[in-house]
Amino acid sequence: MDNRPIGILDSGLGGLTSVWELHRQLPQERVIYFGDTARTPYGSKSPETIVKFADQLVSKLISRDTKMIIIACNTITAWGLDKLREMHPEIPIIGVIGPMVRKVVGDGCSSVGVIATKGTIDSDMYGKSLRELKPDIKVYSRACPAIVPLIEEGLTDTDIMELTIKHYMDDFACTGEFDDLILGCTHYPLISKQIKKLYPNLKLYSSSAEVVQQAKEIMEAKDMLASGSDYTDRYYASDLSDNFVKMTEKLFEGTDFKVRLLKLEE
Ligand code: DGL
């Protein structure tokens, strides 16, 4: 039994989709969330920068006595998971791509689309990981770099968002080459309603449920599940822009959610 919190990180808002799922599946677990809003988006940055930034976030969370780290960001997972595990062998670190890939292959998909940030698509981590488990699977990928900044701006339910999705996806999603679409960015579940409306025939896959399931299995195996504690969840961001605060308040409406500033140089 281990009542210490789980550290969850992302470049901004996206990882909150994993926090909700964690609360749903494992309500006794507490979290410390850290979104690097001062430097979001990560998706178009170089692999070296992504790993350097992610290491700073992981170190901050480890210094706050977390028992496990969930990298709730595909871009960091794609470029940094192995390196972060090497840098921090003292703590279990899990990413979002492996659990998603196992789910898709387990469901018997033979042809899938992947939408993600430029960084994730350039890494081809989904293609490589899917083919490792199922060599004949067909994978179609599309980078959608402008979507994360729009979400961080709070523009989820707008015409601009719909046009942007169409800009990236119309000639991609309507070819009939795949019926299953991986939302390869943890921000995208926040616009799944809009994607479903535009492409109702696609089955959407997002990683939150699977990553939490993997976290649960690891904690069970290591006897690290929490039994309930007085500890409260804490949410940090490296910059508290008006937009970010407004957006998170909207997402957590009706709760006593509060996001605090955590400066990276502190
Ligand atoms: N949520 C991150 C991901 O899953 C977004 C990356 C970004 O900041 O561009 O890739």
With the most atoms of ligand 1 within 8 angstroms of its CB, the residue from 49, 187, 210 to mutate is 187
Residues 10/186, Cβ–Cβ less than 8 Å: yes
73 is annotated as an active-site residue: yes
Distance of CA 263 to the CA centre of its chain: 21
109 is annotated as an active-site residue: no
Among residues 170, 212, 166, the alpha carbon closest in space to that of 191 is found at 166
CATH of 98-207, one of 3.30.420.140, 3.40.50.1860, 3.40.640.10, 3.30.390.50: 3.40.50.1860
pTM for this predicted structure: 0.95
The pLDDT tens digits for 49-92 are: 999 999 999 999 999 999 999 999 999 999 999 999 999 999 99
CA-13 nearest atom, ligand 1: 1
Q: Which amino acid is at 125?
A: M
Domain ranges within the chain, ordered by starting residue: 6-95+209-263, 98-207
Question: How far is ligand 1, taken at its centre, from the CA of residue 42, in Å?
Answer: 6
The residues that bridge with 115 in the sheet, in sequence order, are 142, 183
CATH of 6-95+209-263, one of 3.40.50.2300, 3.90.180.10, 3.30.200.210, 3.40.50.1860: 3.40.50.1860
Percentage of the chain surpassing pLDDT 70?
A: 100
Residues 81/93, Cβ–Cβ less than 8 Å: yes
CA–CA dist 163, 112 (Å, integer): 23
Mean pLDDT of successive 10-residue stretches along the chain, which has 266 residues: 96 91 94 95 95 97 97 97 97 97 97 97 98 98 96 92 98 93 96 97 94 97 90 92 81 83 84
Establish whether domains 6-95+209-263 and 98-207 are of one fold: yes
